């Protein structure tokens, strides 16, 4: 396990766009986010291809990967913040220089489609990565909750998940320890098998999904695929985040319908990560503990920045 260094005032944050293109109103939003971060005392450096749309649906896979590789190689850059989500950040995989990344460890953060990038980097290099707000969202959120969560984690080294008084629902009781992996369900499902799979053995899996795009039947599809590939036999615990669908059907209902009593570990649910306003920062690759009998249901067991 490789722990990245803390962020300090005056440090340079590199911004990359490994997913959907930064076009239209997104350009203004990215520049607004830059101003917010610079006003907090940091420097912001845009990657060479940040605003590229070479394929007319996104930058090319090579352009995106080149930006990530260059940001890791750039000694001036102390953190990499992914601009926004989308659909195809996995296109970068074969062009990422994992040895370069391993030799130049630093914070990399994002959520939604960025789930692919963060989890594969942790899997291939051992570098702790982070599921947290995207750079663009700093400018579009109605509150500073997600930004403050990022600063608290990366600058202060906090080990808390948001407001510790936020409610955690117990779906299944129990106590386990394991390394955290996960993020957006559709992306995690895509990394169950194949050349770029991730190891689920003895992990605590955190999952969220965007109900606007992914209805209950598709969530069921993804979770059944994971069950059929024995993911739920490998992991130790499950932490569910936000899933809101017009039907009112919940992520925990779909999950329990599928795994029933077969899964022996604890399952908890919270509303502090996912496609919602309040997004905490979850480190990928760090040991955590779920204990449903305690007031704070999930805790980090070790530092995630140093």
Q: Are residues 116 and 228 in the same domain?
A: no
- Among 104, 127, 154, the domain-final residue is 154
Nearest to 141 by CA among 284, 279, 243: 279
Domain boundary among 126, 154, 182: 154
Within this chain, do residues 52 and 173 fall inside the same structural domain, yes or no?
Answer: no
CATH number of 289's domain: 3.50.30.60
User: CA–CA separation, 160 vs 268, rounded Å?
Assistant: 16
Q: Are residues 61 and 21 in the same domain?
A: yes
Q: In the prediction, which pLDDT does 166 show?
A: 65
Per-residue model confidence (pLDDT) at position 162: 82
CA 267, CA 239: separation in Å to the nearest integer? Answer: 6
H-helix or E-strand containing 268?
A: strand 267-270
The reply to whether 141 and 259 lie within a common domain is no
Which residue range is the domain that position 91 belongs to?
12-154
**What is each CA distance from 137 to 84, 130, 164, 266, 278, in whole angstroms?**
8, 15, 23, 32, 11
Tell me, what CATH number does 62's domain have? 3.40.50.10740
Instruction: Judge whether 306 lies within some domain.
Output: no
Return the pLDDT at 163: 67
pLDDT tens, position by position, 234-289: 999 999 999 999 999 999 999 999 999 899 999 999 999 999 999 999 999 999 99
Hey, which bits of 123-202 come out as E strands? 129-131, 168-172, 175-184
What's the confidence (pLDDT) of residue 167?
A: 84
pLDDT of residue 278: 93
My answer on whether 133 and 230 are in the same domain is no
Answer for the pair 295, 163: CB distance below 8 angstroms, yes or no: no
Q: Is residue 139 part of a domain?
A: yes
Q: What pairing do the DSSP bridges indicate for beta strands 77-82 and 12-16?
A: parallel
Q: What is the pLDDT of residues 2-14, one digit of tens each?
A: 999 999 999 999 9
Q: What is the pLDDT of residues 138-179, one digit of tens each?
A: 999 999 999 999 999 999 999 999 865 568 999 999 999 999
Give yes or no for a contact between 267 and 237, defined as CB atoms under 8 angstroms apart: yes
pLDDT in tens, 13-59: 999 999 999 999 999 999 999 999 999 999 999 999 999 999 999 99
Contact 118, 52 (CB under 8 A): no
Do the domain assignments include residue 1?
Answer: no
- Residues 290, 181: one domain? yes
Residues 132 and 174 in one domain: no
The 10s digit of each residue's pLDDT in 101-150 is: 999 999 999 999 999 999 999 999 999 999 999 999 999 999 999 999 99
User: Which residues touch 258 (CB under 8 Å, ≥6 apart)?
Assistant: 220, 223, 224, 227
The per-residue pLDDT for range 57-97, each reduced to its tens digit, is 999 999 999 999 999 999 999 999 999 999 999 999 999 99
Per the confidence metrics, is the pTM higher than 0.85?
Answer: yes
Say if residues 260 and 228 touch (Cβ distance below 8 Å). Answer: no
Residue 173 lies in a domain: yes
Q: Report angle CA 221, 210, 256 to the nearest 5 degrees.
A: 45
Instruction: Give the strand order in the sheet containing 298-300.
Output: 168-172, 267-270, 237-240, 203-208, 175-184, 287-291, 298-300
């Amino acid at each position: 396990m490789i722990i990245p260094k803390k962020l300090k005032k005056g440090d340079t944050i590199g911004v990359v766009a490994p997913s959907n293109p930064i076009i239209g109103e997104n350009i203004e939003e990215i520049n607004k986010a830059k101003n917010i971060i610079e006003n907090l005392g940091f420097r912001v450096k845009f990657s060479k291809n940040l605003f590229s749309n070479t394929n007319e649906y996104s930058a090319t896979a090579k352009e995106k990967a080149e930006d990530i590789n260059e940001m890791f190689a750039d000694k001036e850059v102390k953190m990499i913040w992914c601009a926004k989500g989308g659909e195809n950040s996995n296109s970068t995989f074969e062009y990422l220089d994992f040895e370069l990344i391993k030799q130049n460890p630093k914070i990399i953060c994002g959520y939604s489609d960025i789930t692919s990038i963060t989890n594969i980097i942790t899997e291939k290099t051992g570098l702790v990565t982070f599921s947290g707000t995207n750079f663009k969202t700093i400018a579009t959120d109605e509150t500073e909750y997600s930004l403050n969560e990022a600063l608290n984690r990366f600058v202060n080294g906090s080990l808390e998940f948001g407001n510790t008084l936020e409610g955690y629902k117990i779906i299944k009781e129990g106590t386990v320890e394991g390394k955290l992996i996960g993020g957006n369900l559709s992306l995690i499902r895509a990394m169950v098998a194949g050349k770029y799979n991730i190891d689920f053995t003895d992990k605590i899996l955190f999952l969220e999904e965007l109900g606007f795009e992914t209805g209950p039947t598709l969530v069921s599809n993804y979770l059944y695929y994971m069950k059929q590939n024995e993911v739920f036999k490998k992991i130790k615990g499950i932490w569910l985040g936000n899933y809101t669908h017009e039907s009112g059907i919940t992520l925990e209902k779909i999950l329990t319908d599928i795994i029933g009593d077969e899964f022996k570990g604890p399952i908890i649910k919270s509303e502090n990560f996912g496609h919602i306003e309040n997004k905490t920062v979850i480190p990928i690759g760090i040991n955590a503990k779920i204990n449903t009998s305690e007031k704070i249901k999930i805790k980090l067991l070790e530092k995630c920045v140093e």
